[in-house]
Structure formats: C-alpha cells, structure tokens
C-alpha cells in the first residue's frame, strides 16, 4: 500500500497528552474541520485527542513552508472548499508537517512552545459544516439495504434490473446539511396510508435514519470532461458519517416518478471532521469479488487498481438514546453494527459514473454512499429494515420499544477503522435529536 | 392589480433609441443579469433595448440613493445572490429609479449625460449565469407533459395517484447550469433497449429538450421554518427560460427507484436575464379552476389571493435550427408554442410545498417548472411527446426529419408576455447547440 508512510507510525507518540492512544483522534488521524470558539469566528482546525489544533494561528506563527503552507492557508479558512480544490500532493504534505509538529521530537519544538495558543479544548468549541457544499449526491450503493427494500416491497427478484449495472444515485439537498448536534425537527408533509382514500398533511409518522458514509469531493472536473475511473480516486478528499434522515410515509406517497424529495430534504446530519483518504490508507482493501452470476461492471467502471485496493474496512455503528434513557443517565443503546466493506460500488466507481456524461463535480461537493446495511439483521442500517416497515417492534434495554423514531430520540452514527499494527481511526459522532413537529395552522 | 405602477406606463418613451418598442427588452422590462466585456470582469447590468445598462458604473456615478442604492449595489455584483436576498421593496425601488433614469424626462439627465459610459452594446458582451446557484429543484407541474408521459407508458389513468395532491419535484444539479449559447455535449451513458439483454455504454440515442420556466428564489427561509403560502410569493424574484436537456434512453434505464440523475445533469441551459415579478405584474392572472372531479389542494397549498392572481399568461415557443438550416441561412423552425398558464400548480404553491417540511431555500436557488406542454400537439414541450417516444418522425421545412436531437441541432426557447395596453415583455433566448459525444476509450 504505497500511501502508508511515517504518518501511520504508531511508535511515534504525540506530545499532546490527550491524543496518546486516543480512540478517535490519535496522532495518525489528523482530520480537518471548521470550528469556532466563543471569542472567534469559524476557521479551519485539526482534531488531535481532545483538542483542536488551530491552523490559522499556526499559519500566523510561521509553522509551515512550501506546499504544506499553501495547504495550511486553504485549510485555515472558514470553509475548506479551496483546500479540497488542491488535490492530494499539498494535502499529504500538510499531513506530514502536522504529524511532525504534533509528534514528540525536535521538529515539534516550535508548536509545543506555542501550545497554549495553538490548542483549543474541543468540548469548548462549536463545529461547523466544513465546506460551502455546492451539491450533495446520494448514492444507493449499500446492496443489502436495496435488497431489503425490494423484499419489503414484495419485488421478485428484490433488486431492480439496473442495480448491478448502474451505481444508482439521485441529487439530494445541500442547503439542509447540518453538523452533528444540530436538533432535527420532525417534518410535516403529505402522507397517505394504503387504507386512506386521500392524503393528509401532518407530522411524519414514520421518521427514520439512514446509516451512510459521506464522501468529500475535490478537486473535481470541468463540465463535459468526465473523470476516467483510473483517476477517480484523486477526487476523493476524505470521509465522514452521514445520516440521511427519512420520512418514510412522505417518501412512499411522493416518490413516484421522480424520486425522494421532501422526505429527505428537511435535514441531513454529518460528522464535522473530514477524515482524509491519507489517514485511511491502512484500511483500504480489495473490493470483494461479485457473487457468481453478477455482471462484470462496464468498462468505464472497471479499473484493476481500484478493484485491488479501492474499498475500505471501516466499522460502523448506530446508537439510540431515548429521552427516558437520557433522564435515567443510561448510555446509548447500539441498534446496529455494519461496515463500509458492504458497499457494492467503490468510491472511484461513484466518481466515474457521476461524471461519465460530463456532469461537473466541484470542490466541496459531498456524496452519500447509500445506507450501509450489513447482510444480517444485526447490521441493518435503518429502522424501516430493523422494524420491517413498522411491523416488528424493536426492544430497547430501557423497556421501551420503537418502530420508527419518536420525539426526543437521539440517534448517533459512529465509525472506527481498526487494524493490527495501526492506530485506530475514528470519525467522531454524527448525532441528532428529534424535536417535535411544528404545530399546524 | 396592485403591482401595476408607473413603470408599466407605455406612454413614457425611453431615451435609449434601440429600446423604443423593443420586442424583448423595452423600458418596461428592465431585467437583471450579469455580463462581462472584453475588457472587464463580470458585473451586474440591466437589459434595455439592444444595450446593457452598467449598474456598477451607474453606482460609481452616484445615480442611486436610499433603498434603490442598496439594491443597485447588490445588483452590480458579479453574482446577484445578495440582490435576491433583499426582497421586494428595495428591488421595486431600484426598478422605479431605473425607469426614471432611462425614460425621456428631466430625471434621466444625469444618466443620459453618461450614456457612453453606462451603456454597452449587448452583442459585444458575454452573459453569465446570474447567481451562484445553491440548489436547483425541478418541478413536474406541467400537467399535460405528465399526462402525455403516462399515456406513452400505457398507464391507466395516465397520471399517477399523487399528481393532483403533490407538486411533484426532485432535486436536480446546480453545477451544470449554463447560460444561453453554451454548447451542450451529447452525453455518454448506460442505455438498454427493451430488446437488449444488458446495457451498453455510449452516446445517448434519444437526446431531448424540455420547455421549462426557470424561477429565481429569494430571500428564502431558515431551516425548519416553512414559508406559509400567503407569504410564498415574496420569495420569487423573477423568471427565466430553462431547457432541461434530457437523455431519454439513459433516463429510462437509470431512473428507478430514485429518479433521473445522469440523464439530466450533463447540462441545463437558462436564459441569462432575470425578468422580475414586478415587470410581469400586468400578466398575472387567476389560476384556472381545476377540472371537475380534481381534488381541492390541501390547506397548506391553498390561498385565495394566490388563486386569484398567482398564475401568469406568458407565451412560450420552441424553435429548432439544424446544421443544414444554418448552412442554408434558413430561419429557425418553430416546433411548439405553449403558455405558462398551463401550469397545474402556482409558483407560490411550489414554494410553500418545498418548505413545508422545513427545507430551507436560499437566495439564488432556482426552480424549474416542469415541462410546459400545452394540451394539444402544437404546444407539446419535448421531443418525446412530439415524436411519441421516437415512433413518429417530425417533418422540418428543410426536408429533414427528427425524432430526437441530432448533433449540430440548435434548440431555442423563447417567452413573450403580451397584453393590450402594455409593453411586450420578452425573456431573451435560451439557446444551445448539440456537440457530438466524446469518443469512448
């Protein structure tokens, strides 16, 4: 794996004490994000243990030179679009320099001397969406989720004929993407049960989550100039977690023939840190061979190197905490555990497909992967799957049950990449709590 | 009609000679746009006859005061998002001042004295997309287009059950919206004919246009705060024409279950001038009563004032010019003539629906109306309708025939609002010519 380098070396301890063996943001992670403090406006930073390293102040202190300096200047801004536009080489140069500045050793001396200025306690900061998101595209690449939906819709076979040929996707809504922690209001909308003769307008009765990976895009392409699959990986900056909140009753009524709209655009929650593809290099793996009988991808979606190392082994989990659990001081309950490896299409295949007709991607665009359900029930990534469209009640340790989300429920997505001999790389929480719908009238 | 005022007075001639009885951009139109010259960068301007009035220079010359000055400053920028954020009052104040500056009379003296500085010949300027478009939502509110599609798909009844309840829409792609005149490359994509066992990748064989109205949005709403229908009209800045180019073969194969994606995102052409709702006040009309038996819209979509004057009477036409016609110096041929009045939903209903679950609209967002077909064949707004999915060849006066678009074809959308006693308000061309697909491999 050519991208594994000294920035993955676990024998180098950080001088930032909280980062030592940190389960989410160790020295080997170094994700980029945008934060603000009570006193200061949003600017770029890097998570390190329980602190945030202030790129703006580090830049002002003259800690960077050359390509790392250019990248640090872009990553210090209130939105990281320019940073995402830079591409891999300056980003990797900045990562190497950050590693050197934060690892024990002589090179760290200038940063260490300024630690009181350069480090903020993360829990005293506010995180923001890290880019002005131009466009948000949501894929449907979790094949087990697609299959489960087909089963519930009594399709035989459950997958539609295009699924194994087309990395199916739709355009979703960029304006309503929120950082983790933003409350999510239950939407009002048109719903019609099969036993009702006409729709009514009111609060969604079937509010759901979707466990998705978010993919940050840059540099992108000019309109009319597709990105060939062999170059597609160069346009993926990093990953986050993404909860594609879904109002299933609204969705069922509205989605024909043009796809989901209001059922998905009332809010999408992301974890605010961009975990770079450089940090995730040790967790790349071969795309699993397709099951016997599945078609080979068309040539524009096929690249040997992508097949050999374009997938990721990253563990995922979904947790719920109801109001009763919160009041009782009980920890969140794990609803599901899955893995990014269950994607049917690689990120490079998504990029190549998205641009094959000429559509232009821009720095700061984001993709959702589609719901990342595991093959078995313990890893299903939505309540519509777990409750079989509301027909099976899910038991919680608090004695409560759920089919869909209730007001006050908090839903938390987490990711953790683990491999023997490497530091564990976490993504940070992707959390949101449901507020009651606005009263009508 | 309360919004008809002195800026619609046809007894006031302009001092700009080319604007006198101009069929598209008379003194009573005053649309806003963004232009550049060979020497100078993009900035805001106003179309007047065959000229563009330079708002940046007019501002520098001190021609505006008060709210009109604030609006002029926002409208002079390289993108008009801040102008769209202002809302109606400053925009209307600027319109009144522009009318006074460009009409014969004493108030025009300071502008007239600077005419050599303030006016550019439009044909020597380049027009740009007038905003940084945050999000592009495409509605499906042309009921005759929806009906025709159902007939072709052999649905009985042709309209889906939700059509008359839901202003159906989907999120489309903002990054690939282009100003009129930008060539459009035929996309490659996956296509599968019913007689083929598997899809292949190659140039779309069924490239189509769609005759749509574009709707510019501002000021918009905060996430979680719906815009009630009675206030929805305040969030529509103005209109343009929009060609939602569509690769029908790609669409047919990809669109289930999440809607159109690559079949629509390779390029969308708009006419570059924002014709304001103030300019169009004389062309408002009552929304036609729904046919007997159609359901009454749900309360969140119902407003008496909107029903009484929320629709528009604006004539539309579609013209085609093939390479052979261009080489022969023949004028473009009219394929279709329709009218905005055929929309099943008003613009206010679109705004109210889009935000009813809390989705936030932002200044500079754009809506497409959906294909604006008239009830009869002479006004159908796409080739899939006119050629009945390619089964009927359309005869052109050049002796050529078409089912779908061929390379070199230019497609032009036009709009013209006409009413006795008022100046004719045009939108300017929405034109694009098809380039051959990129060679594969």
The answer to whether the Cβ–Cβ distance between A250 and B357 falls below 8 Å is: yes
B160 → chain A, closest CA residue: A256
Q: What is the pTM of this model?
A: 0.98
B258 → chain A, closest CA residue: A259
Confidence band for A2, pLDDT divided at 50, 70 and 90: low
Mutate to test the interface with A, among B257, B266, B351 (most CBs of A within 10 A): B257
Q: Which of B198, B298, B440 sits opposite A295 (nearest CB)?
A: B198
In angstroms, rounded to a whole number, what is the distance separating the alpha carbons of residues B98 and B32? 11
Exposed, middle or buried by CB within 10 Å (0-12, 13-18, 19+), for B299?
Answer: exposed
> Does residue A184 sit within a domain?
yes
| Alpha-carbon distance A77 to nearest alpha carbon in chain B (angstroms) | 19
Encode B412-422: b = buried (16+ Cβ within 10 Å), e = exposed: bbbbebeeeeb
The answer to whether the Cβ–Cβ distance between A175 and B438 falls below 8 Å is: no
Q: Which of B176, B257, B359 sits opposite A265 (nearest CB)?
A: B359
Q: Is the ipTM of this complex over 0.90?
A: yes
CATH number of A57's domain? 2.30.30.230
Q: Does the structure show a pLDDT above 80 at B14? A: yes
Q: Which of B165, B258, B440 sits opposite A140 (nearest CB)?
A: B258
Encode B123-143: b = buried (16+ Cβ within 10 Å), e = exposed: eebebbbbbebbbbbbbbbbb
The answer to whether the Cβ–Cβ distance between B173 and A172 falls below 8 Å is: no
What pLDDT does residue A35 have? Answer: 98
Let me know whether A92 and A230 are in one domain: no
In angstroms, rounded to a whole number, what is the distance separating the alpha carbons of residues B98 and B338? 31
DSSP 8-state assignment for residue A34 = E
Task: Identify each DSSP E strand in A96-186 by its residue range.
Answer: 119-121, 126-128, 136-139, 169-172, 177-179, 184-185
B202 → chain A, closest CA residue: A357
The answer to whether the Cβ–Cβ distance between B185 and A300 falls below 8 Å is: no
Let me know whether B95 and B169 are in one domain: no
Q: How many domains does chain B have?
A: 2
Tokens of B378: 């002479």
The answer to whether the Cβ–Cβ distance between A438 and B226 falls below 8 Å is: yes
Diameter over CA atoms, chain B: 74
> Does residue B176 sit within a domain?
yes
In angstroms, rounded to a whole number, what is the distance separating the alpha carbons of residues B353 and B345? 10
Let me know whether B58 and B199 are in one domain: no
Domain-terminating residue out of B68, B95, B128: B128
Let me know whether A170 and A294 are in one domain: yes
- Per 3-state DSSP, chain A is made up of helix, strand and coil in percentages (nearest 5) of 25, 25, 50
What pLDDT does residue A194 have? Answer: 87
> Does residue A1 sit within a domain?
no
Task: Identify each DSSP E strand in A79-195 by its residue range.
Answer: 119-121, 126-128, 136-139, 169-172, 177-179, 184-185, 188-191
The answer to whether the Cβ–Cβ distance between A262 and B353 falls below 8 Å is: yes
Which whole number is the average pLDDT over A159-171?
A: 97
In angstroms, rounded to a whole number, what is the distance separating the alpha carbons of residues A263 and B248? 26
B424 φ, ψ (degrees, to nearest 5): -75, 130
CATH number of A336's domain? 3.90.850.10
Q: Does the structure show a pLDDT above 60 at A1? A: no
Q: Which of A190, A295, A356 sits opposite B189 (nearest CB)?
A: A356
Q: List, in sequence order, the alpha helices (H) in B33-87.
A: 55-60, 66-75, 81-86
Let me know whether B288 and B401 are in one domain: yes
The CB-side HSE value for A395 (13 A sphere, CA atoms) comes to: 2
Per the listing, tokens 């292949």 go with B200
Contacts of A295 in chain B (CB under 8 A): 198
The answer to whether the Cβ–Cβ distance between A198 and B353 falls below 8 Å is: no
Let me know whether B62 and B146 are in one domain: no
Contacts of A371 in chain B (CB under 8 A): none
Let me know whether B279 and B355 are in one domain: yes
Task: Give me the catalytic one of A145, A235, A353, A354.
Answer: A145
Q: Which of B259, B265, B360 sits opposite A176 (nearest CB)?
A: B360
Contacts of B295 in chain A (CB under 8 A): 198
The answer to whether the Cβ–Cβ distance between A176 and B359 falls below 8 Å is: yes
Domain around B165? 136-435
Residues B233, B310: contact at Cβ < 8 Å?
yes
The per-residue pLDDT for range A89-135, each reduced to its tens digit, is 999 999 999 999 999 999 999 999 999 999 999 999 999 999 999 99
In angstroms, rounded to a whole number, what is the distance separating the alpha carbons of residues B209 and B412? 10
> Does residue B440 sit within a domain?
no
- Comparing CA positions, the residue from B102, B350, B89 lying closest to residue B213 is B350
How far from chain centre, in Å, is Cα B64?
29
The per-residue pLDDT for range A284-333, each reduced to its tens digit, is 999 999 999 999 999 999 999 999 999 999 999 999 999 999 999 999 99
Contacts of A201 in chain B (CB under 8 A): 298-300, 356
Q: Which of A247, A257, A359 sits opposite B262 (nearest CB)?
A: A359
Evaluate the CA torsion angle A88, A89, A91, A92 in order and state its sign: positive
Long-range Cβ contacts of A389-394 (<8 Å, 24+ apart): A389/A152, A389/A248, A390/A206, A394/A335
> Does residue A338 sit within a domain?
yes
The per-residue pLDDT for range B113-166, each reduced to its tens digit, is 999 999 999 999 999 999 999 999 999 999 999 999 999 999 999 999 999 999
The answer to whether the Cβ–Cβ distance between B262 and A190 falls below 8 Å is: no
B299 → chain A, closest CA residue: A201
> Does residue B1 sit within a domain?
no
- Comparing CA positions, the residue from B353, B242, B253 lying closest to residue B301 is B353
Contacts of A192 in chain B (CB under 8 A): 162
Let me know whether A283 and A304 are in one domain: yes
Which whole number is the average pLDDT over B197-204?
A: 97
A370 → chain B, closest CA residue: B258
The answer to whether the Cβ–Cβ distance between A360 and B172 falls below 8 Å is: no
The per-residue pLDDT for range B165-185, each reduced to its tens digit, is 999 999 999 999 999 999 999
CA B278, B282, B286 angle in degrees (round to 5)?
Answer: 105
The per-residue pLDDT for range A336-386, each reduced to its tens digit, is 999 999 999 999 999 999 999 999 999 999 999 999 999 999 999 999 999
| Alpha-carbon distance B5 to nearest alpha carbon in chain A (angstroms) | 34
Residues A248, A387: contact at Cβ < 8 Å?
no
A134 → chain B, closest CA residue: B134
- Comparing CA positions, the residue from B207, B235, B260, B213 lying closest to residue B437 is B207
The answer to whether the Cβ–Cβ distance between A357 and B134 falls below 8 Å is: no
Contacts of A265 in chain B (CB under 8 A): 171, 357, 359
Q: Region of A370 please: left (phi>0), alpha (psi -120 to 50) or beta.
A: left
Q: Which of B198, B226, B262 sits opposite A357 (nearest CB)?
A: B262
> Does residue A395 sit within a domain?
yes
How far from chain centre, in Å, is Cα B330?
26
Let me know whether A104 and A248 are in one domain: no
Domain-terminating residue out of B71, B103, B128: B128
| Alpha-carbon distance B284 to nearest alpha carbon in chain A (angstroms) | 28
In angstroms, rounded to a whole number, what is the distance separating the alpha carbons of residues B26 and B400? 36
| Alpha-carbon distance A359 to nearest alpha carbon in chain B (angstroms) | 5
- Which residues of B are known catalytic residues? 145
Q: Does the structure show a pLDDT above 70 at B217? A: yes
Beta pairing class for B311-312 and B315-321: unpaired
Q: Does the structure show a pLDDT above 70 at A87? A: yes
Helix axis angle for B66-75 and B88-102, nearest 10°, is 90
The answer to whether the Cβ–Cβ distance between A135 and B175 falls below 8 Å is: yes
- Comparing CA positions, the residue from A145, A124, A111, A94 lying closest to residue A338 is A145
* Number of residues in chain B: 441
Q: Which of B162, B178, B204 sits opposite A254 (nearest CB)?
A: B162
Let me know whether B267 and B314 are in one domain: yes
What pLDDT does residue B1 have? Answer: 56
DSSP 8-state assignment for residue B424 = -
Domain-terminating residue out of B128, B157, B186: B128
Tokens of A325: 């659990």
Contacts (Cβ under 8 Å, ≥6 apart) of A49: A14, A16, A17, A18, A19, A20, A22, A25, A26
Let me know whether B365 and B266 are in one domain: yes
DSSP readout, B101-113?
A: HHBSSGGGHHHHH
Per the listing, tokens 């001999």 go with A421
A153 → chain B, closest CA residue: B257
A vs B: CB pairs below 8 A: 198
Q: Does the structure show a pLDDT above 80 at A250? A: yes
Residues A32, A130: contact at Cβ < 8 Å?
yes
Contacts of B135 in chain A (CB under 8 A): 173-175
Q: What is the mean pLDDT of chain A?
A: 97
In angstroms, rounded to a whole number, what is the distance separating the alpha carbons of residues A145 and A209? 13
Q: What are the Cα distances from residue B322, in Å, to A38, B395, B432, B435?
A: 62, 12, 12, 12
Contacts of A224 in chain B (CB under 8 A): 185, 266-267, 438
The answer to whether the Cβ–Cβ distance between A199 and B169 falls below 8 Å is: no
Helix axis angle for A88-102 and A66-75, nearest 10°, is 90
Residues B406, B435: contact at Cβ < 8 Å?
no
Evaluate the CA torsion angle A127, A133, A136, A141 in order and state its sign: negative
Residues A216, A237: contact at Cβ < 8 Å?
yes
How far from chain centre, in Å, is Cα A39?
29
Per the listing, tokens 């502008």 go with B111
> Does residue B388 sit within a domain?
yes
Encode A42-78: b = buried (16+ Cβ within 10 Å), e = exposed: bbbbbbbbbbbbbbbbbbeeebbeebbbbbbbbbbbb
The answer to whether the Cβ–Cβ distance between A166 and B199 falls below 8 Å is: yes
The answer to whether the Cβ–Cβ distance between B178 and A362 falls below 8 Å is: no
The answer to whether the Cβ–Cβ distance between B359 and A168 falls below 8 Å is: no
In angstroms, rounded to a whole number, what is the distance separating the alpha carbons of residues B194 and B293? 36
Which whole number is the average pLDDT over A212-228?
A: 98
Residues A104, A13: contact at Cβ < 8 Å?
yes
Let me know whether B22 and B150 are in one domain: no
Mutate to test the interface with A, among B148, B357, B439 (most CBs of A within 10 A): B357
* Number of residues in chain A: 441
Q: List, in sequence order, the alpha helices (H) in A226-309.
A: 229-232, 248-254, 304-309
How far from chain centre, in Å, is Cα B431?
12
How far from chain centre, in Å, is Cα A356?
24
Confidence band for A440, pLDDT divided at 50, 70 and 90: confident
Q: Does the structure show a pLDDT above 80 at B406? A: yes
In angstroms, rounded to a whole number, what is the distance separating the alpha carbons of residues A109 and A100? 10
The per-residue pLDDT for range B320-368, each reduced to its tens digit, is 999 999 999 999 999 999 999 999 999 999 999 999 999 999 999 999 9
Q: Which of A160, A165, A187 sits opposite B256 (nearest CB)?
A: A160
Cβ atoms within 10 Å of B69's Cβ, excluding its own: 17
| Alpha-carbon distance A275 to nearest alpha carbon in chain B (angstroms) | 25
- Comparing CA positions, the residue from B170, B80, B166, B84 lying closest to residue B130 is B80
């Amino acid at each position: 794996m050519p991208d594994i380098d000294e920035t993955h070396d676990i024998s180098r301890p950080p001088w930032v004490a909280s980062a030592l063996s940190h389960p989410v943001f160790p020295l080997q992670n170094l994700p980029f994000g945008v934060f603000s403090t009570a006193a200061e406006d949003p600017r770029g930073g890097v998570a390190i243990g329980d602190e945030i390293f202030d790129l703006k102040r580090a830049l002002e202190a003259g800690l960077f030179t050359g390509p790392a300096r250019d990248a640090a200047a872009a990553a210090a801004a209130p939105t990281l679009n320019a940073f995402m536009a830079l591409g891999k080489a300056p980003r990797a140069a900045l990562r190497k320099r950050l590693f050197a500045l934060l690892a024990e050793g002589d090179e760290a001396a200038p940063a260490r001397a300024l630690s009181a200025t350069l480090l903020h306690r993360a829990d005293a900061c506010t995180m923001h969406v890290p880019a002005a998101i131009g466009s948000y595209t949501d894929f449907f690449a979790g094949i087990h989720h697609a299959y489960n939906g087909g089963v519930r819709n009594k399709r035989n076979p459950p997958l539609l004929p295009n699924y194994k040929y087309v990395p199916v996707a739709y355009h979703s809504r960029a304006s309503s993407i929120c950082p983790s922690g933003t409350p999510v209001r239950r939407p009002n909308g048109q719903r019609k049960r099969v036993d009702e003769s006409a729709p009514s307008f009111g609060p969604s009765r079937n509010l759901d989550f979707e466990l998705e990976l978010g993919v940050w895009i840059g540099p992108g392409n000019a309109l009319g100039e597709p990105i060939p699959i062999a170059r597609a990986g160069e346009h993926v900056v990093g990953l986050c977690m993404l909860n594609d909140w879904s109002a299933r009753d609204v969705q069922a009524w509205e989605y024909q023939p043009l796809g989901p709209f209001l059922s998905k655009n009332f809010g999408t929650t992301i974890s605010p840190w961009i975990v770079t593809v450089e940090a995730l290099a040790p967790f790349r793996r071969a795309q699993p061979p397709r099951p016997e009988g599945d078609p080979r991808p068309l040539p524009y979606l096929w690249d040997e190197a992508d097949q050999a190392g374009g997938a990721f082994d990253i563990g995922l989990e979904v947790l719920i905490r109801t109001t009763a659990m919160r009041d009782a001081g009980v920890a969140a309950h794990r609803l599901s555990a899955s893995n990014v490896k269950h994607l049917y299409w690689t990120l490079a295949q998504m990029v190549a497909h998205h641009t094959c007709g000429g559509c232009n991607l821009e720095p700061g665009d984001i993709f959702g992967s589609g719901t990342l359900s595991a093959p078995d029930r313990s890893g299903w990534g939505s309540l519509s799957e777990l409750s079989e469209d509301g027909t099976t009640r899910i038991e919680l340790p608090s004695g409560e049950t759920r089919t869909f989300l209730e007001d006050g429920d908090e839903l938390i997505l987490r990711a953790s990449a683990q491999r023997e001999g490497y530091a564990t790389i976490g993504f940070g929480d992707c959390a949101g709590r449901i507020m009651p719908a606005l009263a009508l009238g």
